[in-house]
Structure 1
Amino acid sequence: MKKIFFALLPFLPLMAFAQSPGKGFSLIPHPDKNQVDITYNGRLLTAYCYTDSIAKPFLYPVNTLNGITVTRGFPVKLIPGESTDHPHHVGIWMNYESVNGIDFWNNSSAIPAAKKDHYGTILHKKILEQKASKNRAQLQTTATWVNHSGEPFLDEATTYFFEVKNNRFYITRSTTLTALDKPVVFADVKDGFFAIRLAKELEMPSAETRSFTDNQGNITKIRASGALVPSGMYYASNGLKGDAVWSSQGTWALLKGKKDGAPISIGMFDHPSNTGYPTYWHARGYGLFALNPLGRSVFSKGKDSLNLTLQPHQSKKFTYRIVIAQQDLPLAEMEKMETEFKQTRY
C-alpha cells in the first residue's frame, strides 16, 4: 500500500477568492464571525469556530458530503426535539477535565460566575496557514490554555487535515501541546479528550433516565430517548458493541445509524504514535463519542494509571482521525482505514 505523507503533499495556497466555488475544497475565512468555513464543491462540510462563548475552538457543524448534519445543534443552534444536556459538548473538539486541577472539559456559559475559578479556557490565537486543493485542505492554528485568571498553562499548535476520498469526509487533527514555565499534570480523570457530540438520530435508543457526574461533582441527568428517533450503535476494534464500548481499549470505534433517511457511519481512530495508545473509549449512548487516553486509572478501575506530566517546555503530540460517511461502513473497511492511518506520518 502506498504511504501518504501529508507534509509532502502539493497543497495550493488559498485565499477566499483563490478557488472557484464548486471545484474541490475551499477555505473561506469569516473574521466577523470568528470562523473559517471548509467547503467542498461549494457545500459546507464544517467550520473552524473560535467564538468566545464556547471556551474552546471547535469544528461545527459537521456534515456528510451530501449535506446531512451529524452533529448536535445545541448550544449553537436550538433544534426541536434535541437534548440540551452538557452545553460544553459542541461539534468536534479537544480538551481535558483536569489540567493542573483546572477543568477545561466542562467549562461553558452554564457555569455560575462564583465557580468559574475552577474552570479553564482554550484561547484561539492565530491562523498560521490555510491551503486547499481538489480533494485535500489544511488549516494550521495556535491557541493557549489558560485558567480563569488568565494564567497560561499550555501552548497549542494544531493542524487540521481535511480530505475527501471514497465518497467519505476525513478529518485528521494533529495537536502539539507544550508546557510553559511550570510542569503541567493531566490527572487521570474520566472526561476528555478528543470528541464529537452527535445528533439526536445518531444516539443509541434508551429506555431509562441515567445520571452522570463530572469531576466537580455536578450531576447531569439524561432522559430516556425512546426507541423511535435514535438509531445509533457503537462497534469497536476489540469486538465489543453498544454500551460495552465505554471504558474499553481499542484502536478504533465506529458509530452507525440513520439520519434523514440515509445510513450514517462515523469512525474514530487512534494513531500508534500517541501517548496511551491504544486509547480508552469514552463513548456514551446519549451522543458523546470520545476517546480518552489520559484517564487510564478511571477506565481500568485502578489497574492502570498515567497522570501524564509535561515538564516546563516539554511537548506531546496527539493525532486522531474522524471519518464521516453517508454509507453503512462494514467493520472490514474500518480495518483497512486503520491500516492506512497507521502508515501515515504527521
Structure 2
Amino acid sequence: MKMILRSILLLLSIALVTACKDKKKEVETQMAEVEATVPTVRFVKDLEHKKIAVFLNGTLFTNYIYDGSTPKPVLYPLITRSGKTLTRGFPFEPRPGERVDHPHHVGLWFNYGNVNGLDFWNNSFAIPEDKKDAYGTIVPEQIVSLDSVNGILTTKSLWQSPDGVDLIEETTRFYFSEIGNTRQIDRVATLKALEDVEFKDNKEGMLGVRVARQLEMPSDKPDIFTDANGIATEVKALDNSGVTGNYLTSEGKTGDDAWGTRAKWTTLYGTMNKEPVSITILDNPQNIGYPTYWHARGYGLFAANPLGQAVFSDGKETLDYKLKKGNSVTFKYRILIHNGTELAKEQLDSTFVNFSKEE
C-alpha cells in the first residue's frame, strides 16, 4: 500500500512539475507575443529644418514640424504601416489633382478660431501683412523631452497675439504606438492661461486634419469656401477618380450627415490603390464639451470641435468657454491611422471604452 501511495505521489509531483513548466512556457510565449507587438519608436531630430521625424518599427510615421512655415506646429504627413500617405500634400508637397484651398489646413494640428477675438485657426502664409493683426500665432517654445522607450514626445508652445503678448502656454504630450495595422497618436494638450482668455463659440476648431484627395467625399461641382473672416477661395470641380471617402460616427451618422453632430468618435474611411485605409479621431469623456461636435467636411477637412456649440446647435446651446489667468484645461484625443481590413464599429466602440478609462 505504501508503495502504491509513493508511486501516486511521485506521479502527481511529476505531473505538477510538467504542468508548471508548460504554464511557464505558455506565459513566456504570451509575453513574447506581447513584446513583438510593442513598436520600436525612434525620434530623429533635424535642428536645421526644425522637425522631428517619428519612426515606428523602422518606417516613417510622421514629422513634428515647428519651422514657422505654418503659424502653428503640425504633424505631417500621416503614413500608414503599409506606406500610404493619408494627409494632403499642399502646401508642403503639392500633388497633382488635389485641392489647394485653405492653406492653413496642414497635416494634423490643434488650435481655435476665436481666442480673445483673435483667429488662430485661419492664420497662414497667405494672410496679407496688413491683415495679420486679426490673427494669432502658436509659437513653438521648447522640445521638452524625447522618450523613445515609451514613444513620447513632449513639447511646449505659446499662443501669442500679433503684438507679442503670450495668452496661453500649451504643453503637449504625443504618445506614438502601433498595434497590428493600426498606428496610434494620443495627443494630450494642457492649456494654461497666461492672461484671462475666452474661447468664443466658433466653427473653426479644434483638433483638425486635412486628408488626401482619395479620402474626400466625391463631388463634381465647383465651390467657394469662406473662412471665419469672410475670405473666399474658389475651388474648381475636380476629377473624382479614386475618391472614395465617407464618414461614420459613433452615433451612426454617415457622409454629410456627420457634420455638426455630437459623437464619441468619428472615422473617415476609403481606399487607396485598392487598400482600405482610415483615420479615426476619438474624443474623451474628460474633455470640455464632450461628446464633441464634428466639423467634418466632404472636401477633406476632418475636425473635432467641442467649443463651437452655438454654431453647431443653431444657437440652442452656448459655451463661450472662459479660462482665468493661471488656470489650466486639458484636451485629450486619440487618432488611429489604419490600413487593411476596415475597422468595424464594434472595434471602434471597444477602443473608445478603453481610451475613456485610461488615466
Amino acid at match of 1:144: L
Looking at structure 1, the residues matched to 294 and 73 of structure 2 have their Cα atoms a distance apart, in angstroms, of: 22
Looking at structure 1, the residues matched to 295 and 235 of structure 2 have their Cα atoms a distance apart, in angstroms, of: 16
Q: Corresponding residue for 2:241? A: 228
TM-score by length of 2: 0.87
Say which SS state the counterpart of residue 77 (structure 1) adopts: coil
Given the alignment, which residue of 193, 198, 213 partners 1:185?
Answer: 198
Say which SS state the counterpart of residue 114 (structure 1) adopts: helix
Aligned-pair identity in percent equals 42
Q: Corresponding residue for 1:96? A: 112
2:313 is the alignment partner of 1:334 = no
Is the alpha carbon distance of 1:110 and 1:56 closer, same or farther for their aligned partners in structure 2, counting shifts above 3 Å? same
Q: CA deviation at 1:222?
A: 3.6
Which structure shows the bigger proportion of residues in strand conformation?
A: 1
Looking at structure 2, the residues matched to 38 and 227 of structure 1 have their Cα atoms a distance apart, in angstroms, of: 32
2:325 is the alignment partner of 1:312 = yes
Which has the larger Rg?
Answer: 2
Say which SS state the counterpart of residue 311 (structure 2) adopts: helix
Show the 5 A alignment for 1:28-47: 28-47=44-63
Alpha-carbon contact 1:157-1:177 (below 8 Å) kept: yes
Q: Deviations over 1:305-326 (max 9, x none)?
A: 1000101111100001110000
2:122 is the alignment partner of 1:122 = no
Say which SS state the counterpart of residue 132 (structure 2) adopts: helix
Say which SS state the counterpart of residue 160 (structure 2) adopts: strand
Q: Which runs of 5+ in 2 are unaligned?
A: 1-38
Q: Corresponding residue for 1:84? A: 100
Q: CA deviation at 1:284?
A: 0.4
Q: CA deviation at 1:26?
A: 0.4
Q: Deviations over 1:77-112 (max 9, x none)?
A: 111111111000001000001000000000001001
Alpha-carbon contact 2:154-2:174 (below 8 Å) kept: yes
Q: Corresponding residue for 2:84? A: 68
Which structure shows the bigger proportion of residues in helix conformation?
A: 2
Q: CA deviation at 1:207?
A: 2.6
Given the alignment, which residue of 267, 270, 294 partners 2:280?
Answer: 267
Looking at structure 2, the residues matched to 103 and 273 of structure 1 have their Cα atoms a distance apart, in angstroms, of: 26
2:277 is the alignment partner of 1:254 = no
Amino acid at match of 2:61: L
TM-score by length of 1: 0.90
2:215 is the alignment partner of 1:213 = no
Q: Corresponding residue for 1:110? A: 126
Aligned length: 320
Q: Corresponding residue for 2:169? A: 155
Q: Corresponding residue for 2:296? A: 283
Amino acid at match of 2:309: R
Amino acid at match of 1:96: Y
Q: Corresponding residue for 2:182? A: 168
Say which SS state the counterpart of residue 105 (structure 2) adopts: coil
Q: CA deviation at 1:260?
A: 2.7
The RMSD of aligned alpha carbons is 1.2
Alpha-carbon contact 1:205-1:225 (below 8 Å) kept: no
Alpha-carbon contact 1:231-1:258 (below 8 Å) kept: yes
Alpha-carbon contact 1:222-1:286 (below 8 Å) kept: no
Alpha-carbon contact 2:97-2:238 (below 8 Å) kept: no
Q: CA deviation at 1:226?
A: 4.1
Q: CA deviation at 1:261?
A: 2.7
